[in-house]
Amino acid sequence: MTVIERVRIGRGGSGRGGTGSGGPAARAAQDLLRVARLFAVTGRVAGPAVGAAVRHRVAGRRQEAARTLYHAAPVLLARLGATFIKAGQVLATRRDILPPALCDQLGTLHDDVPATSAAHTARMLREAYGDDLHVLFPHVELTPVAAGSIACVHRAVDQQGRTVALKIRRPNIDRLMARDLRLMRRGAALAARLPAFAGLPVTEIVGQMCDAVAGQVDFRAEADSLHRLRHNLSGVARVWVPAVRQELCRDTVIAMEFIEDLDGDARSVAPVMRKKFAESALISIYHMLFVDGFVHCDMHPGNLNFTPRGQVVVLDAGFSVQLTDRLRRLFAEFFMNMAVGRGTRCAEIVVESATGLSPTADVDGFLERMADLVRRNHGLPAKEFSLMGFATEMFDLQRNHGVHAAPELIFPLLSLLVIEGTIRELHPGIDFQETAKPVINRGLWSAQRPGTGRN
């Protein structure tokens, strides 16, 4: 079961100036009020869990204490609101720095929130389009077809008679999230000074998370990302990214083609079709990773849908990462060497791509154990190979030996891990390593395609 957010997004005020108006003194007062509310909610939700965890620790049940806290984490984040839900979703991918059991719990965080009221939706549309609203859209359904913590999606008809999807940002959500992210950064800066966090890149980790969350409120950037993904994946069979109607987009609205009959669960279709879905979804991720280097990093099941005509539909590109050409090639080389069992070279690539080493790093030990990990997994039958298990062990080795992974590689890799379960359900026998080989070859040896945005 997923954790359900029951927080009313507009709690900070529904007026234009409800979350960020006034000078520095007013903003400081608002920050203090927000901190007080966050602490109050944290005390009510986390207090019982912390008490139970302490009792487990006193009794010598360390694992039970950890499980108690991990179970409480997504409940707390859901109660704290949209910014913290998004932050938890990003942190759920950081298996390179967080315990896998905690990441599993954070992975249950999904947007499932009450829809924006019709009055608020109408107001946001008027603010976005002004007097042109009814000219551009003769018909808009104020009841959304989907509701998330940042935006709701509405069906509309444009002046050419085309059915379009309007992703409309919730009122004031940008200001509320900007304030929460500012407080998170300040909290991280204070935490980094504490002895308990000595030697840990707390501010860097929180900064990366905040950047990822902030990007999901920038609708102009997301529209551009969707357009790029549509172009980049146009040659991948059975993959469909909705076309963006750039002339109809605004700062708070993304307009795109409306795709009918989307289904997030393809398990009910014929086995042959399920296999095609799995292959197309996997190849699309590989194409992002190895060929274009522009990667959709939020490929959870809600953003990966299917149509009765056999297409895989990729949605919501607000959390995307552009790899440098060097990192893209290293990524491709790593997977190629893993597929042929060259463990030593795989280990060397991880070190080459690392952002740094801890003062006590054991590089030789890491190289030896990483090479062994690749050798143990090479040649396993497809049904026995687990990409998640492989990555989790690799991250453990990096943490234990002081090799700091580059976040530019971690986020894209974990986009693949996120959909491994979905792909396995559709096609249990799919071979992740063999499927990757032809795409890796294109990425390593083909000429750079114009317009991909690589650097």
* Domain co-membership, 300 together with 423: yes
Nearest-angstrom CA–CA distance, 89 and 137: 34
The answer to whether residue 122 is domain-embedded is no
pLDDT for the residue numbered 206: 87
pLDDT for the residue numbered 22: 60
* Domain co-membership, 181 together with 285: no
Q: What is the 3-state secondary structure (H, E, C) of the chain?
A: CCECCCCCHHHHCCCCCCCCCCCHHHHHHHHHHHHHHHHHHHHHHHHHHHHHHHHHHHCCCHHHHHHHHHHHHHHHHHHHCHHHHHHHHHHCCCCCCCCHHHHHHHCCECCCCCCCCHHHHHHHHHHHHHHHHHHHCCEECCCCCEECCCEEEEEEECCCCCEEEEEEECCCHHHHHHHHHHHHHHHHHHHCCCHHHCCCCHHHHHHHHHHHHHHCCCHHHHHHHHHHHHHHCCCCCCEECCCECHHHCECCEEEEECCCCCECCCCCCCHHHHHHHHHHHHHHHHHHHHHHCEEECCCCHHHEEECCCCCEEECCCCCEEECCHHHHHHHHHHHHHHHCCCHHHHHHHHHHHCCEECCCCCHHHHHHHHHHHHHHHCCCCCCCCCHHHHHHHHHHHHHHHCEECCHHHHHHHHHHHHHHHHHHHHCCCCCHHHHHHHHHHHHHHCCCCCCCCCC
pLDDT for the residue numbered 452: 45
pLDDT for the residue numbered 13: 36
pLDDT for the residue numbered 420: 84
* Domain co-membership, 198 together with 312: no
* Domain co-membership, 195 together with 310: no
* Domain co-membership, 194 together with 318: no
pLDDT for the residue numbered 310: 84
* Domain co-membership, 191 together with 268: no
For strands 163-169 and 146-147, give the pairing. unpaired
The answer to whether residue 140 is domain-embedded is no
The answer to whether residue 137 is domain-embedded is no
Please identify, among 215, 247, 282, the residue that sits at the C-terminal boundary of a domain.
Answer: 215
* Domain co-membership, 306 together with 416: yes
pLDDT for the residue numbered 244: 97
* Domain co-membership, 198 together with 51: yes
pLDDT for the residue numbered 1: 33
- Residue 349 lies in domain: 262-455
* Domain co-membership, 373 together with 450: yes
The answer to whether residue 400 is domain-embedded is yes
* Domain co-membership, 105 together with 199: yes
| pLDDT per residue rounded down to tens, the chain (455 residues) | 332 232 233 333 333 334 445 677 877 888 888 889 888 989 998 889 989 989 998 889 989 999 999 999 989 998 888 899 888 888 887 776 778 888 888 878 776 678 889 999 999 999 999 999 999 999 999 999 988 889 999 999 999 999 999 999 999 999 999 999 999 999 989 988 888 777 677 888 888 888 888 888 999 999 999 999 999 999 899 999 999 999 999 999 999 999 988 877 777 778 888 899 999 999 999 999 999 999 998 887 778 888 888 899 999 888 888 888 888 888 889 889 988 899 999 999 988 888 778 888 899 999 999 999 999 998 788 788 888 888 888 888 988 898 887 766 676 777 787 788 888 888 888 888 889 889 999 888 764 444 444 44
pLDDT for the residue numbered 129: 97
pLDDT for the residue numbered 446: 63
The answer to whether residue 314 is domain-embedded is yes
pLDDT for the residue numbered 409: 66
The answer to whether residue 309 is domain-embedded is yes
* Domain co-membership, 283 together with 179: no
Please identify, among 215, 242, 274, the residue that sits at the C-terminal boundary of a domain.
Answer: 215
pLDDT for the residue numbered 297: 84
* Domain co-membership, 211 together with 292: no
Structural domains in the chain (count): 2
